[in-house]
Amino acid sequence: MQRPDFEQQLRSRGGGLVSDLPGGALAALRERLGAADIQAGVILLAAPNTAQFRLVLFDQPPQLTRFLSDRPEIGARQAVARLRIRPPGASRALDDYSFTLGALSAPEPVRVSARDDLDGESFAVSEVPGLGRIEEIVDTAIARGEVPGGEVTALVVGRFGREIRIVTNVVSPRTEAVVEFDRTGAYLRTRQA
């Protein structure tokens, strides 16, 4: 197999979107914060070399809108996990972290409005066993997205209303699809963007 073909195949399977990415990020956060479980508002995994992609979601929840507006650069040259979490013992606070190449960033404090429903928008990461099935989710998204030459550029975990969902973007130069999963990683639906 030629190198360009190998790299295309790697990108089409999600590049560095593997279970070790959120697993490593969450392990580093648990150790740094001394917490057994992490309360998150948004977890975003971005594939390598996705510095200029467009994230498309249906029924985008307010916490994700705020997250994206606060962070115009969500991609990176390397696979990256970006997390918005509630620090233990701080009910009205949020911090942003990024995790790439095995390193966890310092926390970046986030402005919180009095109207933000942090309790209703947050979830315990222990409620999302699908984070341990990222490779399977990426493969299913490619198959169910039905986007010729499509690549999974991003995966988002968040609360959509009362449900916790895992949502992937499958894109090609001509089209894109949003493939949704429940919190366990079970396929729910595909929507063309």
3-state secondary structure the chain: CCHHHHHHHHHHCCCCCCCHHHHHHHHHHHHHHCCCCCEEEEEEEECECCCCCCCCCCCCCHHHHHHHHHCCCCCECCCEEEEEEECCCCCCCEEEEEEECCEECCCEEECCCCCCCHHHHCEEHHHCHHHHCHHHHHHHHHHHHCCCCCEEEEEEEEEECCEEEEEEEEECCCCEEEEEEECCCCEEEEEEC
pLDDT digits (tens, 9 = 90+) for 124-183: 999 999 999 999 999 999 999 988 888 898 899 999 988 999 999 988 888 889 999 999
Per the structure, how many domains does the chain have?
1
Range of the domain at 15: 3-192
pLDDT digits (tens, 9 = 90+) for 54-68: 666 677 777 877 787
